Amino acid sequence: MKINCVSCGHKVDLDDAYDDYAGQIKCFACGAMLEIKIEAGKPKSIKLAWTQVEHAGVESGAPVRQTGLNYA
């Protein structure tokens, strides 16, 4: 079975072990962590997974690191 990464669109190939699976997988093209739910070999949901570090930064109001890129 193949699913598309919701971050970059890359097709992630999953073997039969994922026919009934709920959890995280990693896109090897962009490194995004995906939260997936598959039942009876059919995807039920695919979304980006929040990591604890990202989630903690959002909740704590931590400043966003500047990259040096200017889009103005």
Q: Which two tokens stand for residue 31?
A: 């490194």
Distance from C-alpha of 36 to C-alpha of 69, rounded to nearest angstrom: 33
**Can you give the pLDDT at residue 71?**
46
**Can you give the pLDDT at residue 49?**
86
Contacts of 54 (CB under 8 A, 6+ apart): none
User: What's the first-to-final CA gap in the chain, in angstroms?
Assistant: 42
Q: Which residue has the higher pLDDT, 43 or 52?
A: 43
CA 31 to chain centre: 8
Q: What is the pTM of this model?
A: 0.65
Domains of the chain: 2-60 (2.20.28)
